[in-house]
């Protein structure tokens, strides 16, 4: 099977969706939406591989067709029952074009491309919230913002440890972003959510950039931080 290789994408897939499902009240539709969303997620890997290397089209196209067919089978009935979910498609398509643009420009590691991908994953959480509530609410939009900012903080952090480790300017940008992250809960009148972001801020400020850190260790740190963020968010947003 053609599967995503980046471990971080699995966290970005499951965390927003589970938050949206639990916070809105789980029901049987969530299972079908999860399966459909999962196959949409899988479709992206062979599809982007084709864009990166057109010569792989012969090998990747069958997987695109298989995954997308399964995605359609599970998502169309839910969209039929809750047409409000169509807004997600209108948002998803331009974000996919953004990813295509950066691939063609050989700039996949751009933070703007990271933001586009993170928004796509966060939309899964918003869709799950809509399925639970039956409508697009301000809480669903709030969840989109909360998860997007969290994963952008991870993008800054990981880049500052690997590709931009020797770039002091990027390190400062990462610190500034994380400090602003603490202000966001105050702006949305959920001050206690600051606690959910606090571990991200601490690891960004206290992790050394003077020597390289093994990717496995960085991955473990991110998994632990993601679990903490998930649990604290459930506590304060429930």
Q: pLDDT for 184-222, tens place per residue?
A: 998 888 888 899 999 999 999 999 898 899 988 999 999
Euclidean distance between CA atoms 119 and 58, whole angstroms? 30
The predicted pLDDT at position 90 comes to: 85
The predicted pLDDT at position 230 comes to: 95
Above 90 in pLDDT, residue 131? Answer: yes
Mean pLDDT of the chain: 91
In angstroms and rounded to an integer, the radius of gyration of the C-alpha atoms of the chain is: 18
Q: How confident is the model at residue 8 (pLDDT cuts 50, 70, 90)?
A: confident
Report the interhelical angle of 168-187 vs 194-206 (nearest 10°). 170
User: Mean pLDDT over residues 157-167, rounded?
Assistant: 93
pLDDT in tens, 83-113: 989 888 888 888 888 888 998 888 888 999 9
> Which pTM does this prediction carry?
0.93
Cβ-proximal residues to 131 (8 Å cutoff; 6+ apart), any chain: 21, 24, 27, 29, 30, 33, 78, 82, 85
- Nearest residue to 235 (alpha-carbon basis) of 193, 186, 185: 193
User: Mean pLDDT over residues 41-60, rounded?
Assistant: 90
Joined together, the tokens standing for residue 23 give: 């916070």
Question: In the chain, what percentage of residues exceed pLDDT 90?
Answer: 66
User: At residue 152, what are phi and psi to the nearest 5 degrees?
Assistant: -65, -35
By residue count, the chain amounts to: 238
Above 80 in pLDDT, residue 6? Answer: no
The predicted pLDDT at position 206 comes to: 94
Report the interhelical angle of 28-52 vs 7-24 (nearest 10°). 150
DSSP 8-state class, residue 17? H
Structural domain boundaries in the chain = 1-136, 137-238
The predicted pLDDT at position 225 comes to: 95
- Are residues 108 and 102 in contact, defined by beta-carbon separation less than 8 angstroms? yes
């Amino acid at each position: 099977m053609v599967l995503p290789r980046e471990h971080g994408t699995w966290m970005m897939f499951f965390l927003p969706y589970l938050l949206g499902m639990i916070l809105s009240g789980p029901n049987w539709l969530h299972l079908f939406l999860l399966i459909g969303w999962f196959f949409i997620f899988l479709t992206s890997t062979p599809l982007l591989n084709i864009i990166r290397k057109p010569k792989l089209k012969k090998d990747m196209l069958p997987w695109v067709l298989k995954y997308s067919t399964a995605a359609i089978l599970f998502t169309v009935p839910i969209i039929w029952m809750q047409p409000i979910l169509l807004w997600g498609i209108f948002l998803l398509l331009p974000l996919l074009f953004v990813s295509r643009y950066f691939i063609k420009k050989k700039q996949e590691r751009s933070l703007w491309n990271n933001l586009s991908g993170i928004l796509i994953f966060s939309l899964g959480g918003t869709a799950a919230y809509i399925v639970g509530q039956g409508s697009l609410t301000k809480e669903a939009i709030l969840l989109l913002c909360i998860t997007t900012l969290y994963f952008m903080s991870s993008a800054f952090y990981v880049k500052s440890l690997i590709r931009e480790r020797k770039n002091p300017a990027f390190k400062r940008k990462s610190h500034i972003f994380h400090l602003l992250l603490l202000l966001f809960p105050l702006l949305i009148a959920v001050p206690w959510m600051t606690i959910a972001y606090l571990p991200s801020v601490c690891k960004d400020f206290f992790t050394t950039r003077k020597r390289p850190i093994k990717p496995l260790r960085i991955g473990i740190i991110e998994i632990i931080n993601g679990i903490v963020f998930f649990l604290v968010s459930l506590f304060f947003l429930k």
